[in-house]
Amino acid sequence: MKTALWIICISVLIAVGVSVPADCCTNFIVTKGASADGSVMITYTCDGEFHPRLSFEPAADHGPDEWVEIKDWSDKVRGRVKQVPHTFAVVQLMNERQVVIGETTFTGREELINPEGALPYWWLMRLALQRAATAREAVEVMAALVEEYGYGSEGESISIGDPDEAWLMEIIGPGPGGKGANWVALRIPDGCVCAHANKSRIGEFPLDDPKNCLYSKNVISFAIEKGYYNPASGKPFNYHEAYCPADQEKLRYTETRVWSMFRRVAPSQGWPVDYHRGVRGATPYPLWIKPDKKLTRMDVYRVMRDHYEGTDYDMTKGIDAGPFGSPNRWRPITWKLDGADYAWERPISTQQTGFSFVSQSRSWLPDPIGGVLWYGVDDSYFTCYIPLYCGITAVPDCYARGRMNEFSWDSAWWVFNFVANFANLKYSYMKQDIQKTQTELEDNLDALQPTVEKAALELYKKDPRLLASYLTDYSTSHADVVVKRYRELGELLIRKYNDGYVQDDNGRPQEVGYPESWYRDVIRTRPEQFRIEIRDTSKTELPY
């Protein structure tokens, strides 16, 4: 493997996997018939306490004797994969053919992890993007790779999109020393949306519909052999019941997010809460649904910025939200008290997101222009998504630098982290300042998109090399503008909310205190400690 390629892949591994806890991502899939403009959209929040570094890998030709070394986090070689003659250019997790991939870990039956499998999920994703021109090809590439080299991760749900189709692939290993993997992949019907969040969601699937369903040859027989499925029960085979059985804690952690995505895009269906609360016998949510209306990219942003607002699980309400309605809950997410077990809600938008994106793959545009990765770092609620066209040849420097153990204003991740973390001091106030800047920037980028792409199409006809330069300059320069504005926003927050005051428009500090509801919570806890008596001195008789 070439040195440059290894450096690039290490950057991606840092972005996707290093120090990221398992079970900590969310995906939302929008087919072209379900989107307002005909885009296929994939969202991915990669959640965990880590510092992502944005990467670009150019297309390359390879000799017949080249191999890719597969290394783990300790730099130990897990195996080698035969290189292909040509690999596509890749911007983070979208390639030059507009193929995009996201994932969530569902873990499943842990006894099926195969430590001898050469390929963990992040390498599968990367190799598929280098080699596949369509979403279906990506499924086939990953299936062929694990069959030949072995699968070495926990259970994974993998979202795959291209300009025409969206697929969901779920995969789990065969156990120590086993061969291949047990997997199923389904094409999401056009006009529908799908969601997954750290739990396997594929249930029953057709065995004779290769246009829409692909699966490993032993996916059912292996489950029977292991005792995960009994055909004598008379029940049809169900992938997630066999490979990812769930208890109440797992359902609350995972399916509440799926429920909330569905209730946002199809409120007319009145989604029940029983399943995500773990009520025995409750009906699982469908794998895909039709939204009430076709979704814009901005609609999808809102789906990914969710804390269950407006529901019984609203994380901005209650004593646990503090006096200023913060939806953030500090880890660990579960705890014990007086012998009982408790758990915070797990929202879609969370403070420990490393990076997230909303992709657009568009069939009516040439690939370099049609594929856009709208990319953001840190909490999706406060991030600002920047456009990265799949035809660019470099990424913004401020998104490609930085370290977890060293704060730097030159790192986009640290800038966004500063803003989001500082907001916890007075969340309900500061979020208004943050969202004002966020909305202004995102609306501006949205308004520019048609003009930018009109010019890009003209360049595409005349000089593809000039097109690449144009798109790269646009993506990187506007990323720099966004980060500069957020640095200025951070400085504004420090000044405006210094020492708990709120400065007015003239810079004068104002005492704003706390909401009445919080005062009442305090007094209920300690009713006498803070009580004082104030005498009416206007009626006091003078001593002379």
Distance between CA atoms of residues 260 and 265, nearest Å:
9
The domain total for the chain is 2
Instruction: Say if residue 224 is in the same domain as residue 77.
Output: yes
User: Residue 99 has what pLDDT?
Assistant: 98
User: What values do phi and psi take at 52, rounded to 5?
Assistant: -75, 150
Is residue 182 domain-shared with residue 288, that is, in the same domain?
yes
Nearest to 287 by CA among 357, 210, 197: 197
pLDDT at 75: 85
Is residue 473, in this structure, part of any structural domain at all?
A: yes
Residues 177 and 296 grouped into a single domain: yes
Asked whether residue 533 is assigned to any structural domain, the reply reads no
* CA distances, 27 to each of 44, 76, 392, 481 (Å): 5, 30, 25, 28
Q: Could you report the per-residue pLDDT of 125-141, keeping only the tens digit for each?
A: 999 999 999 999 999 99
Collapsed DSSP state (helix, strand, coil) of residue 102: strand
Is the same domain home to 267 and 384? no
Q: Is residue 143 part of a domain?
A: yes
Q: Are residues 90 and 200 in the same domain?
A: yes
Closest CA to 40 of 365, 263, 347, 350: 365
In a shared domain, residues 225 and 110:
yes
Write out the two tokens for 498: 């210094």
Considering the domain architecture, whether residues 301 and 381 belong to the same structural domain is answered as no
| pLDDT attached to residue 20 | 41
Cα separation, 464 vs 349, whole angstroms: 38
* Tally of CB atoms within 10 A around 44: 26
Token readout for 320 is: 């646990």
pLDDT on residue 542? 56
Q: State phi, psi for 78 to the nearest 5 degrees.
A: -90, -25
Domain boundary among 255, 285, 306: 306
Is 76 in the same domain as 189?
A: yes
Tokens 């019984």 belong to 312
pTM of the model: 0.94
- Token pair belonging to 111: 């006894």
Tell me if 439 is assigned to some domain. yes
Which structural domain, as residue segments, surrounds residue 431?
365-500
The SS3 call for residue 491 is helix
User: Do the beta carbons of residue 150 and residue 118 sit within 8 Å?
Assistant: yes
- Residue 59's nearest CA partner among 10, 131, 6, 118 is 131
Q: Do 383 and 268 belong to one domain?
A: no
Q: Which residues of the chain have pLDDT under 70?
A: 1-23, 537-544
Burial (CB count within 10 angstroms: exposed 0-12, middle 13-18, buried 19+), residue 91: buried
Please indicate, yes or no, if residue 48 is contained in any of the structural domains: yes
CB contact at 8 A, 251 and 240 = no
Domain final residue pick, 268, 285, 306: 306
Report helix, strand or coil for 523. helix
418 assigned to some structural domain: yes
What is the pLDDT at residue 427?
98
Q: Note whether 398 and 276 are same-domain residues.
A: no
DSSP-based three-state secondary structure for 358: strand
Evaluate the omega torsion of the peptide bond into residue 236 and state whether it is cis, within 30 degrees of 0: no
**Domain end residue (candidates: 306, 329, 350):** 306
pLDDT score of 7: 34
Residue 531 in 3-state DSSP? Answer: coil
Within a domain: 108: yes
Within-domain flag for 526: no
What pLDDT shows up at residue 12?
41
What is the DSSP secondary-structure string of 16-42? HTTTPPSS-EEEEEE-GGGBTTS-BEE
Say if residue 156 is in the same domain as residue 294: yes
Same-domain check for residues 296 and 394: no
